[in-house]
């Protein structure tokens, strides 16, 4: 079959295959696929079930127009449960593992955030938003005056949130139960602050919960508590200040594993795997010797609703977990004695997984630079894999997909920097332009995963360079922390060193036709680059930061993120201005396209407005494109038609100027 060039519209043909869970008997695997409905301009999911040995094709167990998440087998394996948006809000549904229709179990006004099966299987425990006056009942409207606009009083600094708008200050999370047969809902929490349920002991007598005070402007930590379900007596599990999540009981109930970080380096701090021993009442950090973060911090644009457990226990009290390491996400296993090793291979992104009770088999969702992702089962002892799905087989068989070449080069201080370069087929006969693409975060990373945007640029005839400069995750703690207080310093030099390396190594690059783009932190860096060098002939900045002084007060994370990352505040305005790309606008000579979502509260659109008006007034070559109904996640989860238009804007600008 002749393969055709990949296009922006191929987003509609890619299946996001996510969230695999293995049944308690190890015989079946459930997972989710998400695709884009072009006509309805939205995303829909399906729940699939297949045999874990690959002997049977996957069967869709749902077919509705909905988004599905949090798929879980009941303890006996007799039921599958999941959250669904088929009634707008995320509600809890239970489906017999023997067939039939899914039964809606909750009808809460704000939906369900997460849930756990009670060992008895007569009820489910959940965490949901609770109204301090109306509780879990619909708010009553007494007269038409309730339809009139009302002022919003911001009582704290954390009063806005990207993707959600104004924070409802009369709401907080509470824990409750719902009876499967009667659907009767009962409230367990009796607090006036947020609680979140993490895990239930095998005998159903103990919980692990986290708590968050309502007035939390300067609180970025949380505490995990072990709580008696009946008496509500509790003891603290986390014996060091930090941020902790994802607690899970071991099958024998003697241990609790959880993930967390002490925040010595604020949000750049590596996460670790901790285990609390019930008998000794002591916590042990099992990954203290691993100089890489536990978890998945990959930047990508395909995996819709991807989720993975924080950790998984086996019957032998072995623990499996994800580690972001040198551009990969791999599954590691550790014993309680600290014997640890990776159980998945290099060169890939394992973005979902589960483990059989006996620890003999993994079920994985895996992406690589040339595959959006499928479900596999893997034998732990041998590493042998069996594919369980082929949802993207047709797409891959008909489209031209490039294999990125890994590169390693030397940045400032002699540090090794890792990245990838893609050579388009046009480079066989002539020199081609090179586009450098910079990720956001900055504490995220590019990985050995499928990236539609990179493939699109290569299929348009551009060389594509993307790297993990200092500040990126999956490397050492020193490396990820190095960007803080140095925005526009050695991180900028890492990117310039990458371009130098590419030009010295690959003779197919036209050094006179260099482009640069990036979003969020990558947008900041794009702005910084065009204000400090003229070597790029075209640039596209997306959802960017241009002015740290105004960012401090308008972003939903501005006041603390600025202090953590720039290491300055409004008492040191000169420092904020020195790190602001807007200061260097007069030095910009590169044609700059500015893309920004109108509902972005993480990097508010005023950042783009300031930059555009300043450059325009100075007579610079620039254009400004505003995306309605788009928040900070436009490129990943935004309205599909706007995602397509964004890609057209990027490639169109480079076509015009490169």
Which residues contact residue 33 at a Cβ distance below 8 angstroms, ignoring those fewer than 6 apart? 15, 16, 17, 18, 45, 46, 48, 391
Reading the block at residue 579, the tokens are: 């790190």
CA dihedral in degrees (545, 551, 555, 560; nearest 10)?
110
Partnered with residue 385 across adjacent β-strands are 378
From the list 641, 617, 620, the residue with the least C-alpha distance to 629 is 641
Cα 411 to Cα 91, 406, 408, 492: the distances in Å are 49, 16, 10, 10
Distance CA 123, CA 200 (A): 13
Distance CA 126, CA 136 (A): 12
Q: Are 242 and 221 in contact (CB under 8 A)?
A: yes
CA angle 396, 401, 407 (to 5 degrees): 135
Q: Are 170 and 152 in contact (CB under 8 A)?
A: no
Sign of CA dihedral 62, 67, 72, 76: negative
Q: H or E segment at 643?
A: helix 640-657
Q: Are 8 and 456 in contact (CB under 8 A)?
A: yes
622-627 and 185-187 as β-strands: parallel, antiparallel, unpaired?
A: unpaired
Partnered with residue 320 across adjacent β-strands are 312, 333
Which residues contact residue 145 at a Cβ distance below 8 angstroms, ignoring those fewer than 6 apart? none
Distance CA 597, CA 338 (A): 46
Angle between helices 452-459 and 640-657 (to 10 degrees): 40
DSSP 135: B
16-22 and 405-410 as β-strands: parallel, antiparallel, unpaired?
A: unpaired
Reading the block at residue 7, the tokens are: 């296009």
Distance CA 179, CA 121 (A): 9
Partnered with residue 23 across adjacent β-strands are none
- SS3 of the chain: helix, strand, coil, percent, to 5: 20, 35, 45
Q: Are 164 and 150 in contact (CB under 8 A)?
A: no
Q: How many of the other CB atoms lie within 10 Å of CB of 478? A: 11
Active site (catalytic) residues: 520, 632
Residue holding tokens 């190890």?
Answer: 26
Which residues contact residue 245 at a Cβ distance below 8 angstroms, ignoring those fewer than 6 apart? 198, 210, 222, 258, 259, 260, 310
Partnered with residue 634 across adjacent β-strands are none
Distance CA 290, CA 300 (A): 25
Q: Are 470 and 490 in contact (CB under 8 A)?
A: yes
The SS3 assignment for 426 reads: helix
Cα 628 to Cα 41, 68, 69, 521, 651: the distances in Å are 14, 26, 27, 21, 20
Phi-psi domain of 449 (left: phi exceeds 0; alpha: psi -120 through 50; beta: other): beta
């Amino acid at each position: 079959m002749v393969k055709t060039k990949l296009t922006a519209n191929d987003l509609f043909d890619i299946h996001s295959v996510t969230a695999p869970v293995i049944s308690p008997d190890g015989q079946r695997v459930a997972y989710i696929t998400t695709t884009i409905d072009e006509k309805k301009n939205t995303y829909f999911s399906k729940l699939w079930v297949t045999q874990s040995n690959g002997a049977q094709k996957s069967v869709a167990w749902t077919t509705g127009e909905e988004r599905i998440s949090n798929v879980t087998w009941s303890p006996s394996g007799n039921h599958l449960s999941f959250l669904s948006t088929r009634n707008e809000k995320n509600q809890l549904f239970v489906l017999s593992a023997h067939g039939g229709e899914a039964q809606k179990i909750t009808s809460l006004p704000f939906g369900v955030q997460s849930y756990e099966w009670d060992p008895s299987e007569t009820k489910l425990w959940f965490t949901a938003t609770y109204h301090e006056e109306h509780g879990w009942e619909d708010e009553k409207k007494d007269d038409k005056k309730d339809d009139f606009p009302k002022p919003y009083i911001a009582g704290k600094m954390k009063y806005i949130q990207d993707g959600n708008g104004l924070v409802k200050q009369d709401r907080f999370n509470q824990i409750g139960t719902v009876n499967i047969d009667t659907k009767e809902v009962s409230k367990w929490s009796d607090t006036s602050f947020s609680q979140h349920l993490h895990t239930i002991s095998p005998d159903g007598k103990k919980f692990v919960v986290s708590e968050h005070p309502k007035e939390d402007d300067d609180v970025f930590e949380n505490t995990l508590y072990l709580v008696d379900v009946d008496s509500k007596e509790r003891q603290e599990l986390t014996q060091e200040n930090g941020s902790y999540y994802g607690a899970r009981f071991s099958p024998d109930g003697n241990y609790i594993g959880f993930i967390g970080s002490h925040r010595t380096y604020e949000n750049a701090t590596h996460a670790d795997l901790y285990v609390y021993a019930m008998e000794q009442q002591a916590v042990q950090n099992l990954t203290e010797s691993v100089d890489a973060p536990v978890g998945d911090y990959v930047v990508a644009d395909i995996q819709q609703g991807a989720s993975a457990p924080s950790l998984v226990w086996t019957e032998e009290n072995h623990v499996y977990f994800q580690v972001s390491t040198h551009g990969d996400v791999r599954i590691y296993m550790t014993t309680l004695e600290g014997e640890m090793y990776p159980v998945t291979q290099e060169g890939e992104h394992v973005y979902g997984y589960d483990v059989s009770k006996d620890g003999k088999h993994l079920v994985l969702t895996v992406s690589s630079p040339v595959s959006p992702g499928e479900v596999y089962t893997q034998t732990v002892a041998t590493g042998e894999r069996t594919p369980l799905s082929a949802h993207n087989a047709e797409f891959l068989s008909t489209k031209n997909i490039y294999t990125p070449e890994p590169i390693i080069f030397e940045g400032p201080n002699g540090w090794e920097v890792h990245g990838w370069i893609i050579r388009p087929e046009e480079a066989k006969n002539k020199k081609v332009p090179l586009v450098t693409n910079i990720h956001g975060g900055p504490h995220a990373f590019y990985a050995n995963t499928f990236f539609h945007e990179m493939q699109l640029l290569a299929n348009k005839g551009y060389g594509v360079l993307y790297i993990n400069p200092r500040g990126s995750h999956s490397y050492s703690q020193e490396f990820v922390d190095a960007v803080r207080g140095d925005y526009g310093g050695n991180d900028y030099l890492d990117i310039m060193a990458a371009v130098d390396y590419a030009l010295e190594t690959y003779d197919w690059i036209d050094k006179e036709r260099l482009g640069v783009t990036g979003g969020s932190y990558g947008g900041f860096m794009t702005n910084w680059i065009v204000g400090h060098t003229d070597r790029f002939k075209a640039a596209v900045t997306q959802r960017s930061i241009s002015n740290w002084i105004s960012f401090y007060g308008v972003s939903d994370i501005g006041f603390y993120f600025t202090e953590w990352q720039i290491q300055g505040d409004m008492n040191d305005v000169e420092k904020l201005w020195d790190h602001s790309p807007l200061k260097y606008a007069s030095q910009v000579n590169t044609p700059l396209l500015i893309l920004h979502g109108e509902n972005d509260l993480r990097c508010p659109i005023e950042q783009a407005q300031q930059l555009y008006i300043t450059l325009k007034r100075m007579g610079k070559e620039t254009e400004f494109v505003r995306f309605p109904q788009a928040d900070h996640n436009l490129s990943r989860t935004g309205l599909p038609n706007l995602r397509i238009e964004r890609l057209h804007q990027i490639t169109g600008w480079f076509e015009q100027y490169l």
